[in-house]
Structure 1
Amino acid sequence: MDSETIEVGSTFPAPPSQYKYFSQDNLDLLEGLPTDIPATKEAFVEWYNKTKGEDIDVDLRTTLVKPRVDWILEDGYYSAYGELWPLKESLPSLKESGVEQLYPDDLPVYLDKKPVLHSLLRTILMTHFDITRELTAAPPPLNADPLSRVRDKIEHIRLTGINMHHIINELRPMQAKETLNYLQQQQQDKRKTKIEEIKAKHEEIRQNIATLQQASAQTIERVTKENSLNAEQTDTTIETTNKSNASNINQLLELINDL
């Protein structure tokens, strides 16, 4: 029994030991179970021993049944890992916890508790100052309690700290809401930044393409002009060469005629 208690309360408890009974054979056996068996564990164990020839220490009729959700809803809590957990999470008040409450009950909203937190913090600081001042006083008699003068102040600091902690716990829902809003805003800002980066890159690429198109057009125009100029120069050179050849031929013919 002690080992089971330790197992339930361990950091990483194993599955409940009942899982080994959830075999297909036992489920089939439960479906064909005779109705004349008395509703006691001893009667079922005896019937199981006669039928299967094996020993068993549980009544499968109560072990393999589905959880009664209506019972859980009626009780308002459920059991898990040896602890009872309420269905509706609620923060118990200081009075319900047996702790003295140092601030009024009629605080309407979360933000109105800021001044209360500041007041409690000042109380802790002033009480700590009083304790420090007591340390500078003359020591008490040897037969007196050395903490008699500061015990109440230490208890007051502890009580004030519990009250502050309780107020902070009441602010947890607002903290969760604001944290979620912050995370969503952060994601939205990141997406906006990514979109702006994509737009900037798109504009940069568009400008580069326009520059390449302009440079290509200028290159094509320049090459076309150079080709046209080269063609004209070639035609002029050919014409000049032809004229020179014709003149030489005429001179040669004249020399032949003179002979």
Structure 2
Amino acid sequence: MDDEDQAAVSRSTWPPPPFFWKDFTPAAIERIDQLRHERAEADNITDPKAIQSIHLEGLPRDLRNLQPPPEPADGRWRVFGANYQLADELPSLDGTEIRRLVPNQEERDQDGKHFDRALTMKRLAKSLLLNFLELTGILSINPAEANDKILDIRDLFYNFHHLINEYRPHQARESLISMMQATLDRTRAETNAIRDAKEKVERVLEGLGSLKVEDETSQPDSSSAMNGQSKTDEKAAWLADSDEMWRGVLEETL
């Protein structure tokens, strides 16, 4: 595949499978696994994960696509027409046409005072409202002089957005903590429900066991013939209650 076809494929919305998918045959996979194990024996590597992550050099042409490429030297790569980089850092406002209205991270907290982002963003929000009112006044009097005020509002928005983006790592950590806590709470609730169902089942089984022992130890007697029917009715009623309990246990479990 030439460069133009490859570029067209990378820019399409739903690109077709890569052209090298035909290289992933069982025979080729077995060959590269054998080469990895031979390299692992030579380097005294026994960890299976470390063996699978071995990067082999000088592979034949039909095996080169069976191992992932090494990390890019400059830390940048391109996927489906979009550029990515390993060090995903927040770009700085320095070196751009945007005026910095808040101190850099290196310049903060140097005077012994804590840099309060919330207070700074409140001040920027009030400045935005004030500049917007000034812009409306300028537009009503002399619209030709509104360009400077529009640039001021732009710089305020960029600085405000930059401070918000500094919260992204904290937001990611808190989101991960919230997801893990929700998973833990759900697992604990399911475990408690299973334990409750287990206790109910054990109580039902104990009741059934006591009825069985009572039937085996009881001897038919002419004096108890009067109470036979009443015991049978009690047993039937108890079994009916047990059936209802079983249904409740099954419903709660499912």
- TM-score, normalised to structure 2's length? 0.52
Q: Which protein is bigger by CA-based radius of gyration?
A: 1
**Where in structure 2 are the equivalents of 1:109-148 lying within 5 Å?**
112-133=116-137, 139-140=140-141, 146-148=143-145
1:88 aligns with 2:87: yes
Q: Percentage identity across aligned positions? A: 27
Structure 2 counterparts to residues 8-47 of structure 1, below 5 A: 8-13=10-15
Following superposition of structure 1 onto structure 2, how do residues 1-259 of structure 1 map, counting pairs within 5 Å? 8-13=10-15, 72-73=72-73, 75-81=74-80, 84-105=83-104, 106-107=107-108, 112-133=116-137, 139-140=140-141, 146-149=143-146, 151-214=147-210, 224=219, 227-229=221-223
Change (3 A) 1:230 1:147: same
Change in 2 beyond 3 A, CA 1:210/1:171: same
Of 8-17 and 195-204, the range deviating more from structure 2: 8-17
User: 1:148: Cα distance to partner?
Assistant: 1.9
How far off its partner does 1:198 sit?
Answer: 1.1
Offset at residue 212 of structure 1 (A):
3.7
Any conservation in 1 of the 2:10–2:79 contact (CA below 8 Å)? no
Assess if the C-alpha contact under 8 Å between 2:124 and 2:160 holds in 1: yes
Structure 2: distance between partners of 1:230 and 1:2:
100
Alpha-carbon shift at residue 185 of structure 1 (Å): 0.5
Q: Please state whether the residue corresponding to 2:170 is helix, strand or coil.
A: helix
Match of 2:247 in 1: none
Q: Is the 8 A contact 1:77 1:86 kept in 2?
A: yes
Task: Measure, in 2, the Cα distance between the counterparts of 1:192 and 1:125.
Answer: 49
Cα deviation, residue 183, structure 1? 0.5
Residues 94 and 101, structure 1, Cα contact 8 Å, conserved in 2: yes
Deviation at 1:188, TM superposition (A): 0.3
| Unaligned ranges ≥5, structure 1 | 23-63, 232-259
Contact 2:124 2:156 in 1 (8 A): yes
Structure 1 residues 107 and 115: CA distance shift in structure 2, 3 A: farther
C-alpha offsets along residues 5-59 of structure 1, whole Å, 9 cap, x if unaligned?
Answer: 6655443455788x69x9xxxxxxxxxxxxxxxxxxxxxxxxxxxxxxxxxxxxx
Structure 2 residue ranges without an equivalent (≥5): 24-62, 226-254
Distance 1:118 1:219, change over 3 A: farther
- Contact 1:107/1:113 (<8 A) preserved: no
